[in-house]
Amino acid sequence: MRLLHIRCGSDLRGSLKAAGIEGDFLEYADPVCRGATPATDDPHIFRQAHLDYLVGELGEDTGETNTKLDAAEAGLADAESYERIVLWFEHDIYDQAVLIRLLDHFEQHPELHDRLYMITLDRFPGIARFNGLGQLSPDQLATLWGSERPVTPAQRQLGVAAWRAFRSGNPTGLGTMSERNDLALPYLAAALRRHLQDLPWTRDGLSLTQRLTLQAISEGAPTPGKCFGALVNQLEPQPFLGDLMYWPIVAELARASEPAITPVVTWQSPVALTPLGKRLLDGTADWLTQNGINRHHGGLQLAMPGAVWRWDGVTGSLLRA
């Protein structure tokens, strides 16, 4: 039987082989949980919008990035040559956003519906803080083989609805999904909630990732590198950012017109809170009032002047103010 394993990264490429799990490997890893994901069916428009994030913010090379994205799409188009397709995805928003994008794609290909299987989890025996499948050794991965389950029609249809809502300019659909405990994809609601928590909060205008960064510094993290480690290993409730994706967040806190942290140049730069950073943590200042905002969050364009969607951490709900 020809098997294709699809994963939103390269972390399992060697481990699956070492675990004795046969099959070809497709890395489908465009990090759509960050940057612009416009509501368009034109792949060229979508590609260009997301290149603005991958190249403009992450600093990736345009040619290399296009080559990688082209290879992923070509691999996906070749999926029809396989008898079984296994999706390997954990619970965080990085994985879940790629998963719903893939399910939206596969829903349009009924000839593949009965070939789709999925392995998805949010914990593993013996691992106290499970951050992802990449933590698992080949022997641990081998214990998962055989637990794959057919992707159901309800899961495919939810993927379509969730991907549409994710790319919408109105986040209320995502808000409704994030409150449900009966979704066909068991980890999607919590992942969408974490996505919404990276909107500016009503309390201080910070995203959750920004606030956790300031918290890490206040608790003694001396460098951006140590901040990232504190988030991954302790503070972040649902780790999903790689270091390349995290750096622009730290840089913005340092380079804004009214910075929250002292200047940083490298991962080893000494870092401390500014007076504004301390007031933000105290809840006595607002990041957007001091610095404004102009960025994409999924299908949303967050820009001032004008009303901006925010997350109310007290009520766990969205509002526009």
Q: pTM of the prediction?
A: 0.97
CB 118 within 8 A of CB 148: yes
pLDDT at site 13: 96
Residues 107-121: tens digit of each pLDDT: 999 999 999 999 999
**How do residues 183-198 score in pLDDT, each as one tens digit?**
999 999 999 999 999 9
Residue 81 has a CB neighbour count (10 Å cut-off) of: 9
Element (H, E) at 228: helix 224-230
| Mean pLDDT within 27-40 | 96
- In which band, very low, low, confident or very high, does the pLDDT at 164 lie, cut at 50, 70 and 90? very high
Report the candidate in 149, 84, 80 with the shortest Cα–Cα distance to residue 110: 80
Q: What is the pLDDT of residue 297?
A: 96
- Of 133, 151, 144, the closest CA to residue 21 belongs to 144
Residues 207-230: tens digit of each pLDDT: 999 999 999 999 999 999 999 999
Judged against a pLDDT cut of 90, whether residue 30 lies above it is answered with: yes
The DSSP 8-state label assigned to residue 290 in this structure reads: H
d(CA 239, CA 231): 7
Helix (H, G, I), strand (E, B) or coil at 41: coil
- Tell me if residue 126 falls in helix, strand or coil: coil
Per-residue confidence band for 125, with pLDDT thresholds at 50, 70 and 90: very high
Strand ranges of the sheet holding 35-36, from the earlier edge strand across to the other edge: 35-36, 294-298, 300-303
Three-state SS string over the chain comes to CCEEEEECCCCCHHHHHHCCCCCEEEECCCCCCCEECCCCCCHHHHHHHHHHHHCCCCCCCHHHHHHHHHHHHHHHHHHHHCCEEEEEEECCHHHHHHHHHHHHHHHCCHHHHHHEEEEEECCECCECCCCCHHHCCHHHHHHHCCCCEECCHHHHHHHHHHHHHHCCCCCHHHHHHHCCCCCCCCCHHHHHHHHHCCCCECCCCCCHHHHHHHHHHHCCCCCHHHHHHHHHHHHCCCCCCCHHHHHHHHHHHHHCCCCCECCCCCCCCCCCECHHHHHHHHCCCCHHHHHCCEEEEECEEEECCCCCEEEECCCCEEEEC
- Orientation angle between helical segments 43-54 and 62-77, nearest 10 degrees: 140
Contact between residue 177 and residue 183 where contact means Cβ atoms under 8 Å apart: yes
Query: What is the gyration radius of the CA atoms in the chain, in angstroms?
Result: 20
Right CATH number for 201-292 from 3.90.320, 1.10.10, 1.25.40, 2.60.40? 1.10.10
Q: 3-174 is classed in which CATH architecture?
A: 3-Layer(aba) Sandwich (3.40)
Q: Domain ranges in the chain?
A: 3-174, 201-292
How many CB atoms lie under 10 A from the CB of residue 14? 11
> What is the average pLDDT value for the chain, to the nearest integer?
97
Residue 155 near residue 103 (C-beta atoms within 8 A)? yes
Q: What is the pLDDT of residues 131-151, one digit of tens each?
A: 999 999 999 999 999 999 999
Residues 295-319 pLDDT 10s? 999 999 999 998 999 999 999 999 9
pLDDT tier, 1 (very low <50, low <70, confident <90, very high otherwise): confident
pLDDT tens digits, residue range 229-270? 999 999 999 999 999 999 999 999 999 999 999 999 999 999
- The candidate with the shortest Cα–Cα distance to 283, out of 227, 222, 211, 234, is 211
Both tokens assigned to 43: 């792949």
Judge whether 3-174 and 201-292 match in fold: no
| Amino acid letter for position 68 | K
